[in-house]
Amino acid sequence: MDKTITRGPTWTRFLIAAARAHAPWRLALLPLAGAAALGHPLRLVDRAKLKGMTQRLMIGRHVSDATMRDLAVRFAEATDADHVLEAARARIAADRAEGYRLVLATASYRYYAETIGARLGFADVIATEVRRDAAGDVLSGVAGDNCYGPAKQAMIEAWFAREGIAREAAHVRFYSDHVSDAPALEAADEAFAVNAHAPLRRLAAARGWTVLDWR
The pLDDT tens digits for 6-34 are 999 999 999 999 999 999 999 999 999 99
Pick out the chain residues at pLDDT < 70: 42-44
- Dist. CA 102–CA 106, nearest whole Å: 13
- Dist. CA 45–CA 188, nearest whole Å: 31
Contact 184, 152 (CB under 8 A): yes
- Contact partners, residue 49, CB within 8 Å, separation at least 6: 141
Helix (H) or strand (E) run with residue 77 in it: helix 65-82
Q: State how far Cα 8 lies from the chain centre.
A: 11
Q: Report pLDDT for 45.
A: 77
Whether the full predicted model's pTM is greater than 0.85, yes or no, is yes
- Dist. CA 161–CA 26, nearest whole Å: 41
Rg over CA atoms, the chain: 17
Closest by CA to 49, choosing from 58, 62, 36, 35, is 36
The pLDDT tens digits for 190-206 are 999 999 999 999 999 99
